[in-house]
Amino acid sequence: MRTINTTIFIFTLAATALAAGCRNKEIEAFNNLEKDRFLVRTEKAKVRNLEEYILLTGSVKAMDEATLFPRISGKLLKNLLREGDPVKKDEAVALIERDEVGTVYEPAPVPSTLTGVIGRVYQDIGSSVNPQTPIALVVNQGMVRVAVDVPEKYSGKVFKDQRARIKVDAFPDRYFSGGVYRVSPVVDSRSRSTLVEVLVDNIEGYLKSGMFAEVRLITASRGSALSVPAGAVVSQDGGDFVFVPAEGSLAARMPVKTGIKTSEFTQISGVGEGADVITFGLYGLKDGSKIKVQP
C-alpha cells in the first residue's frame, strides 16, 4: 500500500514540475517578445459595387385602399365576398336588410368603390349596421407605397424618382426595388422630418399592407469601386490614410482619397487593387511601427 502511495506521489510531483516548466517557458517567450511590436491583421483592397444610402423604417400600404360603408341602417344579411377575393368597382360585397317593421324591402347592396381584393371583412351576419359602420376593406396591392419620415438633415438628399430598396421581415434575404414618388414640401415642426413615400411594384403580391419595412434611399452609387473595410481608413489632421505592411515588418502610412462610404466599406484611391491593408490593430499604430501580421 505504501509503495502505491509513493508511486502516486512521485507521478504527481513529476506532473507538477512539467506544468511549472511549461509555464516558465511561456513566461520566458512572452518576456522575449518586443514590447513595441503591434499584432495586426490585413485584408486586400478589392473592387466592389457600392451604394451609399439613408436607412429608414416605415409601413407598407396598398396604393389604393377603401373602407366600404352601407348607405342605410339595418342588419347585415350576407357577406358576398371574403378576405382575398377579387372585386371589381361597383360590385356588391355585402347585402343589408332594412330594419323597418311592417315594410319589406329588397336587400340593399354595399358596392365596392374600386377594383382590387377584399383585405378585410369587419362584420358578421346579423350585425346591426348604419352608414358609419365599416363593412369591408378593399385594397389594390399591385403597387404598394411605403411612407417614411426623413430627418431634416437628410432632406436635401431626397428627390422624386430616387432609387430605393425595401426589405420586410417576411423575406429577410430579399430586397424589393422601388422609387420615391412623393416628397412633402414641408418639414414637420415637431419631429423635424419630411414625409416621403416610396412606390414599389408588387405584382407578385409578396408585400402586404401593414407590414413593417426597412427602406434604403440610395443617395449615391459606384460600380467597380476600389474599396477597403470601413475601419481600415483613419482620419487625422484633416486627411485620410491607411496603413500597409512594408519591408522589414514595418507599418507604412499611405494617404488616400475617399469616395462613397457605407457601413461596411469605403471607396479609396491611393493604393492598388489587391494591396494588403491593415484592418485590425490600428490603435496606437504609427508610420514605421514594428508589426507582426497575424494569419
What domains are defined for the chain? 37-48+223-293 (2.40.420.20), 53-61+142-222 (2.40.30.170), 70-134 (2.40.50.100)
Report the 10 Å Cβ neighbour count for 121. 20
What are 218-238's pLDDT values in tens digits? 998 888 899 999 999 999 888
C-alpha to C-alpha distance for 194 and 187, rounded to whole angstroms:
5
Cell of 5: 502511495
For the entire predicted model, the pTM comes to 0.65
C-alpha to C-alpha distance for 73 and 44, rounded to whole angstroms:
73
Cell of 71: 348607405
Distance separating the N- and C-terminal Cα atoms of the chain: 53
Cβ atoms 284, 40 nearer than 8 A: no
pLDDT of residue 17: 52
C-alpha to C-alpha distance for 99 and 155, rounded to whole angstroms:
55
Of residues 77, 135, 128, the one with CA closest to residue 105: 77
Of residues 197, 165, 167, 168, the one with CA closest to residue 178: 165
C-alpha to C-alpha distance for 53 and 211, rounded to whole angstroms:
21
pLDDT of residue 19: 55
pLDDT of residue 75: 93
Of residues 102, 79, 57, the one with CA closest to residue 211: 57
Q: Which uninterrupted H or E stretch holds 17?
A: helix 2-32
pLDDT of residue 162: 95
Cell of 275: 494591396
pLDDT of residue 2: 47
Of residues 113, 67, 60, 120, the one with CA closest to residue 90: 113
Cell of 99: 330594419
Residues of the chain with pLDDT under 50: 1-2, 9, 29-30
**Exposed, middle or buried, 80 (CB in 10 Å: 0-12/13-18/19+)?**
middle
C-alpha to C-alpha distance for 154 and 160, rounded to whole angstroms:
14
Residue type, 27: I
pLDDT of residue 29: 47
